[in-house]
Each structure stands twice: as C-alpha cells, then as structure tokens.
Amino acid sequence: MISKFLIGISIVLFLHPLSARADGSLHVSHRRDSGYQACAQVLLESVTFPPVNSKSRHGEEIDYASFCSTEEQPALGSMAHCLIDSFKNSNKYVEAFVHSCGGSLTVDDVHESYNNATQFLVNLTSISDIGVMVFKPVAVPVKKVQDLSTLIYNSGLNDNYDLFFGITMVSYWFVIMLIAAVNHWFYYLFPNVVKSMHGSLINGIRRSFILAPSISKHHAQVRKFKFFQWFVPLRFEALVILGWLVLAIVFCSVGYQRPTIYFMALPIGSRSGLLLVYSLPVLVLFPGRNNFMQWVTGWSQARFLLFHRWMARIMFLLTLVHVTSKTIGLHQLHGYSYYMHHSFIRWGVVGAVSIGVIVFQSMNIFRSINYEFFVLTHIILAIIFILSGWKHASDEEINSPQSFYAAAAVWGLDRVLRIIRIISFGVKNATVELQTDEILKVTVNRPKHWVPHPGAHAFIHFLRPSYFWQSHPFTIVDCSSEQNTIRFYIKVKGGVTHGLYKHLQSSPNGTDNFKVLIEGPYSQRLPIHKFDNLVFFSSQTGIPGLYSEAMSMAQNKDTSNKRIKFYWVIRELKSLEWFYDELMKFKGTNVEPVIYVSKPESDVEYLKDSEMGKKRSGSNSDQSEKRETYLSVHEKKYWNERSSSVSSSRNSILQRSLSFVEFRTGRPNISDIVKSEIECSEKSVALVACAAPCIVDDIRDVIREVLGKDTSKRIEFFDEMQEW
Ligand SMILES: Cc1cc2nc3c(=O)[nH]c(=O)nc-3n(C[C@H](O)[C@H](O)[C@H](O)COP(=O)(O)OP(=O)(O)OC[C@H]3O[C@@H](n4cnc5c(N)ncnc54)[C@H](O)[C@@H]3O)c2cc1C
Ligand SMILES: *[C@@H]1O[C@H](CO)[C@@H](O)[C@H](O)[C@H]1NC(C)=O
C-alpha cells in the first residue's frame, strides 16, 4: 500500500514541471498564438476600446478578452483585420484567437466582423492622440505587427526550451534510477542470468566502470588535502554527476531565440532559475531516510547523499548564473535599485545567499568536526532556502511556486514517515552495558510486528536531557535466543556515544537503563542469497550487520548448505568478548568463521593481567586505565571462567570454547585472502565487506584485479560501508 502511494508521489514528482506554469497546466508556446498577442499589443498601445464585460485572465498583462465580444464590433473588427491582413496562412492565427476566447466566439464571427469592418476602417496613422477611445475599427501597420509577433514567438520558444530542458534535467535522474532499478531487480527475478554474466566484456565494464573509484583505489577512505577532505566517488557515480553538470551547462547555453522582447541576459536568467527550481524536489527527495528510491534502485542512502551533495553544488552554480544574468538584465531594463525595492527580488537574494552558505557548510570537514551542528544548521538553512525561493517564485512576475510546494511536500512526507516509524516502535527501555574496547551493548525489547531484516540499521534517540534530540544510525542485531529483542553494538566516539560512556563509567557494573526511541528499520536487503559462495569481511564494530546476514543464511534451509566464509579482523583477542555470545551461534552451522587478531602481542600481557587481577599499564595507559575501572569486572569473569583452570596459553583456551573458529594472527593479507577465496569458489561468489575503510578499499582493488583475469564465474562485491 505504502509503496504504491509512494510510487504515485514519484510520478507526481516526475511530472511536476509540466504544471509549473502560470495557469497550472502544460503550456507550450505556439507560433499561431503570437498573432493575436501582437495585434492586441499594437492596438492597445495606441487606442482604447469601450470596455466590455469580460473576465480578464489572471496573470496576463494584456486583456485579450476585450477583443472577444461580438457586441463590441470595433474591437473585434480591428482584431480580425489585423490577423487576416498581417499573416499569410491567416486561418490558423484566427483559430488560435478564437480558441483563446474560450468559446464565446466562432471563426465565422471573425470573418463577418472582418467584412463589416472593411467599410468603417480607419488608419492608425490618422489617429493622433495616444490612448484615445475609438468607436470604429482600426487598421494597424502590417510590418509592426509581424515584427512584434516574431519577438513574442521567440520569447515563447525560449519558454518552450525552459520547459523541455527543465523536464530533461529531472528525467535524467529518473532514467538513471530506472536503469539501476532494472539491474537491482534482476538479482531477485533472474538470479541465474546475473550469475551467468561473467564474460570479459561484462567483467571489463564492471571492473573499470561500476566498481572502480574515480581515481586511484580510494573510495571508502576519506581523502585529505590541507583543510579539504572528501570521498572519491566511483567512476560511474562521477559520470552520472558529470552528465548532469554537462546538461546544466548545455541547457543554460543553447536554445535561445533572438531577437526577443527581452534583453538577452533575462532569458538566460530565467532558464537557469527554472532549471534550478525544477530540480529542487529531486534534491530534497534524495537525502531522505524514507527515500523510496532506495528501495527501487537498491542504492544505499550514502550514494543518494553523494548525489544530493553534488546536485546541490551544481544547483549553486545555476544560482550564480541566475543571479548574475538577472542582475545584468534588470539593470538594463529599469536599473538595479528599482528592482531591489520589490520584495520578491529581496527574497531571491536571501535564497541565493542561503544556498551559498549551505554548500559551504556541508563540506566534509564540517560534517566530520561536528555532525549534529552540521545537521541543525543545514536544516535551518534549507528551510530558509525553500521559503525564500517560494516567496520569490510566488510573485506574479514569476508565478511558478509549484516546485516549492513539491519540495516541501517531499520533505514533509519524509518527516511524517519518520514520526510514524518512531511511534510504531514506541518508547522503550534499553539496557546499556559497557563492554571491552569501549563498546556499548544496547539491548531493547522490540514490538512483535517490528521485524528487522538482516543488515538493517535504525536511528536511536537516547532520551536524556543533553541529547534526546539527536538520532544516530546503528546496525541492528535481532537476538535469536531472546524473543523480540534487538541489540546494538556501539563504538564510543566523541558525541552522544561519549556522553553515554561517561555516564556508564559512574554506574554500577557499567550498566544502566535508558528510555529510547528507535526509528527504523532502514536499508535494503542485499541480494546475496542466490550466490553459491559467500565471503564476509568485517573488522571491529563492522561485524553486526554481516553477522546477521550470515546467520540468516545459516538458519534458512535453502541456503544452509552454501559455503560461507566469515572473516573478522580484531585488534586484540579480548576484542571478541563483546560479540562472544553471537559468535558462539556460528557453532554447528555452515558458516566458517576466521578471526584475525592483528595485534596479538598485547594479549599475552592481557591474559596475565586479568589472571592475576593486576592493574595494567602500558603505552596506552589512559585507555587501559579506563577499561580497568569498569570493564575488569566483565573481563575477569569472562576470562576467569575460561582461562583460570587452564594455562595462560591462548590457544588452549580458544580450542575449548571457540574450537569451530579458525584463529590467525597478524594483519590479514587482503590480496591473498580475496584471491584464494575466489579461486575456491565454484560458479559464483559474493564478497560482502563492512570493515575499516582501508580494508574495504583493498578488497575492492583486488576484486577488480581478479575480474580482469578470471572470467570463469560471477564475482560480486557488496560494499556495506556507509559513510556520510
Ligand atoms: C548505516 C550505518 C550503520 C552504523 N552502524 C554502526 C554500528 O553498528 N555500530 C557503531 O558503533 N557505529 C555504527 N555506525 C556509525 C555511527 O552512526 C556513528 O559512529 C555515531 O553516529 C557516532 O555518534 P557520536 O555522536 O558519538 O559521533 P561523533 O563523535 O560526533 O562523530 C563521529 C563520526 O560519526 C559521524 N556521525 C555522527 N553522527 C552521525 C549521524 N547521525 N549519522 C551519520 N554519521 C554520523 C561523524 O561525521 C563522525 O565522522 C553506523 C553508521 C551508519 C551510517
Ligand atoms: C459594423 O461595424 C460598425 C462599426 O464598427 C458597427 O457599429 C456595426 O454595429 C457593425 N454592424 C454589424 C452588423 O455588425
């Protein structure tokens, strides 16, 4: 139901430029309309006809309806002569005029009036006073009407191009997303077709276009240069963005007809303004948590956020073009200061400034310094931008606020769905426990109907005075042992998570209860269940999502005979304590876990210390001290149970409790692992990674290398690393 509703909205979104016209309907300017418009303009410039009871159409400067009444023969006769005498092929001009009268007039009326008027016709040149009221039909200079008609037509053509280009700018995204959707749904509908596509051409395209970072091998890792830092998009992402930029540049540059009734700068200003405005609802749709296009395309929120940022930057360039050319144009027209008194121009200035500030404050560096501050200012500025743009475009000079309604509606819908999600989960009590390695284990009872899929994440609000308003994304682990219970494993960072950590430090046993709101579950399922071999790579806190995916495969009859390899890289042996219970569930399944302990040296000391209950000290004294105070309770209990009876030899402890796990020490050699895993796989293999950025980038790099050589099977890569 909801998805149908959302698809409905998407169609409206897609078509909205069609209605973004003064009279609310699709308006394409035609040559034939320029006839009566030119005639009316030339006539009314010089003379006045007696008033008629006509309803003037809203927003039109010239009241064409005053020519539409058979009661008022002088006006109608003048129009008839103007049209029939000025234009070759005058029939279509007459028809257009009759059409514009909206049914009050027929073509015959016009011709009758023409014949009668011929007897009374006065020449415009013989009328000396401008604006004088006339009671006879007037003949206007043919050349003047023709020239004006051409000017009007050219302006109309510019409007046509505005409309066409605006629709194309929006359609661009939907066409790209349609291609992505076809690709995505192929994995579900025709998995065997997907698995059979591993020839050198397909592999070539995938390795150099779909999977490749734009330059070098960095994608998940943030790049830095002095003050600047950024993520490198994949090649195809960069090309999609580049394509849109090229469209924006071309559409601002071509399709202008000259001469028009305006200065050249004004149509350029209108064009860039309209391109900007048409794109706005799409810009607002992309970053939303409930952006249904995530479901349609299978793209992650991170990718939509990437497109959102680049769209905004390009739209900022359009704003610059708009402001510059309008400033020049209006200066030529009536002078700059004349227009600055109009409130809609002032609102335009406010909007332009706010989008400039937004683009600046959204830089990666500010997002990473203080994400909450970024989000807050971003929302305020975006509201200012939309409201001021709305005011600007609602003025009768522009009169196309529809895109702003659409943008506000899209945003509002996302917010409403977020609230519905929060309400459907309800206010719950969460138990938060401090674990090894500064990990917080959050356990919450979930409503029965609220079933997260493997790999899903949710946003948590911890209802404490200093940060109840913040919500942060964490991956959900659905407990199989306790019904209707979910867990989160949260690494302590600098914001909310640090606040919780501080609080737990002073709580008994490092445990406390908090009221929480949970918004989710979000993200798409990965289409991995049809692949014959699966290899998961995680490191540190990257494990929960991949664990859920692997477990759901192991528990499902259809997939429980697949070969599933599960790599987890941790620093020290004790880092596995917080996930120990879950890890134990792999026992007896088809999942083959391999744990890399990258810094095993510290473990020897660790074991010694916990055995003797001694205070640890070391180079990392600050951290280990913290752990000592509130973690030692857990650690000792855990290790005492498992280790006190046996020697401090790590191997023998592990052999007892985690005998199904293969332990390896040292840093993993990603290249060797990936290559040998792919080699061992028959028919098809999917590699899924949620690990430290450098590991993910290495995996991607090796897979690209293998794709270039091995065309014997389908090799798929799912990058679950989401950074934004
Ligand atoms: C889909 C997804 C799933 C995640 N799952 C887990 C998980 O299971 N376990 C885990 O420990 N971490 C997870 N994270 C990371 C986690 O969201 C951040 O570490 C957390 O928000 C940091 O909170 P803080 O206030 O302490 O951050 P800060 O110390 O203020 O910031 C630390 C970093 O987190 C980023 N960040 C802060 N707030 C947000 C936010 N609301 N959205 C996105 N990024 C933010 C900042 O840009 C910064 O780079 C996940 C992130 C995403 C996007
Ligand atoms: C013919 O034209 C004159 C002058 O416009 C007008 O007064 C008169 O009513 C018209 N006659 C008819 C039959 O329309």
Each residue's pLDDT tens digit, 428-463: 999 999 998 789 999 999 999 999 999 999 999 999
Helix 402-425, helix 371-394: angle, nearest 10: 140
For the chain, percent of residues with pLDDT exceeding 70:
87
289 within ligand 1 shell (Cβ under 6 A): no
Please report the pLDDT score of residue 19 as a whole number: 46
State how far the alpha carbon of 523 is from the alpha carbons of 158, 260, 457, 474, in Å.
Answer: 43, 51, 7, 11
Tell me which DSSP letter residue 438 carries.
Answer: G
pLDDT band of residue 139 (cuts 50, 70, 90) is very high
Residue 286 CA to residue 13 CA, distance in Å, equals 12
Distance 312 CA to ligand 1 centre (A): 23
- pLDDT at residue 16 above 90? no
The closest alpha carbon to 505, from 630, 628, 636, belongs to 630
Segment 140-164 shows an average pLDDT of: 93
Please report the pLDDT score of residue 126 as a whole number: 82
For the chain, percent of residues with pLDDT exceeding 90:
70
pLDDT band of residue 201 (cuts 50, 70, 90) is very high
498 within ligand 1 shell (Cβ under 6 A): yes
717 within ligand 1 shell (Cβ under 6 A): no
- Taken in order 713, 718, 719, 721, the sign of the CA dihedral is negative
Please report the pLDDT score of residue 202 as a whole number: 96
- Give the tens place of pLDDT for each residue, 216-230: 899 999 999 988 999
- pLDDT at residue 242 above 90? yes
Q: Mean pLDDT for the chain?
A: 87
Question: Of 113-117, 509-513, 644-648, 668-672, which range is least confident?
Answer: 644-648
C-alpha 488 chain-centroid distance: 26
- Give the tens place of pLDDT for each residue, 280-322: 999 999 999 999 999 999 999 999 999 999 999 999 999 999 9
- pLDDT at residue 544 above 90? yes
Segment 462-470 shows an average pLDDT of: 93
- pLDDT at residue 641 above 60? no
Tell me which DSSP letter residue 572 carries.
Answer: S
Please report the pLDDT score of residue 624 as a whole number: 41
Residue having the nearest C-alpha atom to atom 6 of ligand 2: 73
Ligand nearest to the CA of 72: 2
- pLDDT at residue 11 above 70? no
- Tell me which H or E stretch contains 91: helix 90-100
441 within ligand 1 shell (Cβ under 6 A): no
589: its two tokens: 């399944």
Segment 93-108 shows an average pLDDT of: 92
Residues present in the chain in total = 724
Please report the pLDDT score of residue 12 as a whole number: 52
- Give the tens place of pLDDT for each residue, 324-368: 999 999 888 888 888 888 999 999 999 999 999 999 999 999 999
524 within ligand 1 shell (Cβ under 6 A): no
Please report the pLDDT score of residue 608 as a whole number: 52
Give the range with max mean pLDDT: 53-62, 544-553, 630-639: 544-553
pLDDT band of residue 48 (cuts 50, 70, 90) is confident
State how far the alpha carbon of 44 is from the alpha carbons of 237, 274, 472, 543, in Å.
Answer: 55, 31, 64, 77
pTM: 0.88
Distance 577 CA to ligand 1 centre (A): 22
Please report the pLDDT score of residue 650 as a whole number: 55
495 within ligand 1 shell (Cβ under 6 A): yes
Alpha carbons within 13 angstroms on the beta-carbon side of residue 408 total 13
Instruction: Please give the residue that has the higher pLDDT: either 509 or 244.
Output: 244
- pLDDT at residue 607 above 60? no
467 within ligand 1 shell (Cβ under 6 A): no
pLDDT band of residue 4 (cuts 50, 70, 90) is very low
Please report the pLDDT score of residue 20 as a whole number: 44
Please report the pLDDT score of residue 249 as a whole number: 98
Give the range with max mean pLDDT: 71-75, 104-108, 112-116: 112-116
- Give the tens place of pLDDT for each residue, 412-421: 999 999 999 9
The closest alpha carbon to 673, from 576, 592, 584, belongs to 592
459 within ligand 1 shell (Cβ under 6 A): no
State how far the alpha carbon of 7 is from the alpha carbons of 189, 639, 681, in Å.
Answer: 20, 54, 39
Ligand nearest to the CA of 81: 2
Distance 238 CA to ligand 1 centre (A): 25
50 within ligand 1 shell (Cβ under 6 A): no
- Phi then psi for residue 665, to 5 deg, are -110, 160
Instruction: Please give the residue that has the higher pLDDT: either 398 or 670.
Output: 670
- pLDDT at residue 616 above 60? no
pLDDT band of residue 24 (cuts 50, 70, 90) is very low
Q: Residue with structure tokens 């309400």?
A: 423
Segment 38-51 shows an average pLDDT of: 88
DSSP 468-523: TT--EEEE-EE-SSSTTEEEEEEE--SSHHHHHHHHHHTSGGGEEEEEEEEEEEES
Distance 35 CA to ligand 2 centre (A): 23
Could you tell me which residues are beta bridge partners of residue 717? 687
Please report the pLDDT score of residue 52 as a whole number: 65
Q: Which amino acid is at 438?
A: E
Rg (C-alpha) for the chain, rounded Å, is 34
Please report the pLDDT score of residue 208 as a whole number: 94
* CA angle 9–14–19, rounded 5-degree value: 100
Atom of ligand 1 nearest to the CA of 491: 11
Residue having the nearest C-alpha atom to atom 25 of ligand 1: 495
Q: Residue with structure tokens 């990718």?
A: 303
Could you tell me which residues are beta bridge partners of residue 515? 429
- pLDDT at residue 642 above 60? no
The closest alpha carbon to 251, from 171, 178, 352, belongs to 171
- Phi then psi for residue 349, to 5 deg, are -65, -40
Please report the pLDDT score of residue 574 as a whole number: 82
Residue 665 CA to residue 671 CA, distance in Å, equals 16
Residue having the nearest C-alpha atom to atom 13 of ligand 2: 116
63-72 long-range contacts (CB < 8 A, ≥24 apart) are 64/36, 64/37, 64/40, 64/97, 64/100, 64/101, 65/101, 67/36, 67/40, 67/97, 67/101, 68/100, 68/101, 68/102, 68/104, 68/105, 69/104, 69/105, 70/105, 70/109, 70/113
Pocket test for ligand 1, best of 230, 370, 371, 539 (most atoms within 8 A of CB): 371
State how far the alpha carbon of 426 is from the alpha carbons of 444, 453, 514, 519, in Å.
Answer: 11, 19, 14, 9
- CB-defined site of ligand 2, < 6 Å: 73-74, 77, 116-117, 120, 136-137
- pLDDT at residue 658 above 80? yes
- pLDDT at residue 601 above 90? no
Q: Which amino acid is at 240?
A: V
Question: Of 310-324, 496-510, 511-525, 627-641, which range is least confident?
Answer: 627-641
Residue having the nearest C-alpha atom to atom 11 of ligand 2: 116
Please report the pLDDT score of residue 133 as a whole number: 84
pLDDT band of residue 635 (cuts 50, 70, 90) is very low
Atom of ligand 1 nearest to the CA of 470: 41
